Chain A
Amino acid sequence: MISLYISERTWLHRLPASFKLGMLVSISIAILFIDGWRNLLPALAAALCMVLSLGRPGLQRLRNLRGLLLLVFTLGVFQGFVMSWDLAASAVIRILLMVLLADLVTVTTPMQKMLAVITPLLTPLKPLGVAPHRLALAVALVIRFVPLLMAQWQAQRLAYRARSARRPRPVLLVSFLAQALRRTDQIADSLSARQARSR
């Protein structure tokens, strides 16, 4: 499955994931105390510079964020009209800043490393029944299932089109879901069997 990770090695890649996440959290709290869009602009400029320092993948990433930028600007314009332009400006800049910084962390940190950093943080949840290693298994299953499900959906669509010229789509969804659920039983059985063997 495609991930958002940019594979070129940059200076941001070399920073440890825990440091990047820690900085992200600290900055997100710090900017709550900064008021006025003029004061926030330098931070936004710095964030943009960091994105551009990634080179062409950085520009590519900015283009991918277009949808979100459009949404933020639309909300900003709405806010400018119904409240005040100053407030709108500072709100827009805050969101842009945090989204850019968070996105930087995402594209410079492989999923494995993120998982490695987050999993130990979840050990306090063990008494509630959340075992960290099961989380890693769950994530792997999700990543595995996504292309499987898409392939299954395509296969069903093709099979249906081969048999009939009509396309009452909702009916397909029912058999799709039913088949997917049956698959989970098979997979669960084989997983349990494997766990039992390895014990």
Chain B
Amino acid sequence: MLSTRDLVQIALFAALIAVMGLIPKFDLPFTAGVPITAQTLGVMLAGLILGPKRGALAVLLFLFVVAMGAPVLSGGRGGLGVFFGPTVGFLIGWIAGAWACGAIFQWLLGHMPERRFLSALLACWLGGILVIYCFGVPGISLRTELTLSKAMMAGSVFIPGDILKSLLAAWLVTRLRLRT
């Protein structure tokens, strides 16, 4: 059962992910409408800081708020429509990604507690990026009937931005623990 404190922290991170969607997104000229967003940063942070279970719940809560009509998906998108679009797989993947990010981070910390940055970074790469793509790419394939390999080509445009975000997330988490 979630304590009140858990609930408030989960809501906070859901709001954090929302805020990252309200910041104007970058549009790289060659990506043609594909948003390079800061939101996956929020997803990774939720997993790293809250841990797997509460991190996933934060993402779930965020998606619920989006579904109900709040325009907090990057680019001012929101509502049920986004769940029928081609990027729906990534949205679902965020839930698993936050969980995996948190779980892998905790597991790695257990084995090498001094290597905080490295643990966070690997957790972001495996959980924050790989897991999300394992949901996102099939999602594109299912929604558009592209084959998996073509969908992978299409989805790979997000990857450079996500690597940058993972570096930032790992760095933030390292500094955060030193402070609190």
Q: State A181–B16 Cα separation when bound (angstroms).
A: 11
In the complex, the answer to whether B22 meets A150 with C-beta atoms within 8 Å is yes
Say yes or no: is B92 at the interface (Cβ < 8 Å to chain A): no
In the complex, the answer to whether B176 meets A174 with C-beta atoms within 8 Å is yes
Known contacts A82-B150, A185-B5: does B81 contact A142 (CB below 8 Å)?
A: no
Say yes or no: is B14 at the interface (Cβ < 8 Å to chain A): yes
Q: State A191–B6 Cα separation when bound (angstroms).
A: 12
Known contacts A4-B71, A67-B75, A181-B9: does B15 contact A142 (CB below 8 Å)?
A: yes
In the complex, the answer to whether B85 meets A74 with C-beta atoms within 8 Å is no
Q: Which chain B residues border A145 with CB–CB below 8 Å?
A: 11-12, 14-16
Kindly identify which residue among A114, A153, A171 contacts B68, using a CB–CB cutoff of 8 Å: A114
Q: How many of chain B's residues have a CB under 8 angstroms from any CB in A?
A: 61
In the complex, the answer to whether B15 meets A79 with C-beta atoms within 8 Å is no
In the complex, the answer to whether B146 meets A178 with C-beta atoms within 8 Å is no
Q: Which chain A residues border B143 with CB–CB below 8 Å?
A: 91, 94-95
- Which residue of A is nearest B21, CB measured? A146
In the complex, the answer to whether B19 meets A64 with C-beta atoms within 8 Å is no
- Which residue of B is nearest A152, CB measured? B19
Q: State A32–B145 Cα separation when bound (angstroms).
A: 12
Interface pick from B57-65, B107-115, B128-136: B57-65
Q: Which chain B residues border A192 with CB–CB below 8 Å?
A: 4-5
B65 to chain A, nearest CB (A): 5
Q: Which chain B residues border A173 with CB–CB below 8 Å?
A: 168, 172
In the complex, the answer to whether B35 meets A67 with C-beta atoms within 8 Å is yes
In the complex, the answer to whether B2 meets A129 with C-beta atoms within 8 Å is yes
- Which residue of B is nearest A194, CB measured? B4
Say yes or no: is A46 at the interface (Cβ < 8 Å to chain B): no
A174 to chain B, nearest CB (A): 5
Q: State A149–B147 Cα separation when bound (angstroms).
A: 41
Known contacts A78-B154, A82-B146: does B79 contact A102 (CB below 8 Å)?
A: yes
In the complex, the answer to whether B154 meets A149 with C-beta atoms within 8 Å is no
Interface pick from A7-15, A52-60, A104-112, A158-166: A104-112
Kindly identify which residue among A101, A106, A187 contacts B69, using a CB–CB cutoff of 8 Å: A106
Q: Which chain B residues border A94 with CB–CB below 8 Å?
A: 143
Say yes or no: is A26 at the interface (Cβ < 8 Å to chain B): no
In the complex, the answer to whether A142 meets B78 with C-beta atoms within 8 Å is no
Known contacts A79-B145, A146-B15: does B70 contact A111 (CB below 8 Å)?
A: yes
In the complex, the answer to whether B65 meets A71 with C-beta atoms within 8 Å is no
Q: Which chain A residues border B172 with CB–CB below 8 Å?
A: 170, 173-174, 177
In the complex, the answer to whether B71 meets A187 with C-beta atoms within 8 Å is no
A112 to chain B, nearest CB (A): 9
Q: State A71–B33 Cα separation when bound (angstroms).
A: 5
- Which residue of A is nearest B70, CB measured? A3
Q: Which chain A residues border B62 with CB–CB below 8 Å?
A: 142
A139 to chain B, nearest CB (A): 6
Q: State A141–B15 Cα separation when bound (angstroms).
A: 8
Q: Which chain B residues border A24 with CB–CB below 8 Å?
A: 80
Kindly identify which residue among B12, B15, B22, B78 contacts A4, using a CB–CB cutoff of 8 Å: B78
In the complex, the answer to whether A68 meets B179 with C-beta atoms within 8 Å is no
User: Contact flags (1/0) for A58-82 with B, using CB distance below 8 Å?
Assistant: 0000001101101111111011001
Q: State A146–B60 Cα separation when bound (angstroms).
A: 16
Would you give 16 A-B contacts (Cβ < 8 Å), ordered by A?
Answer: A67-B75, A68-B82, A71-B33, A78-B146, A79-B145, A90-B145, A100-B81, A102-B81, A106-B78, A110-B69, A141-B7, A142-B14, A146-B22, A181-B9, A185-B5, A192-B5
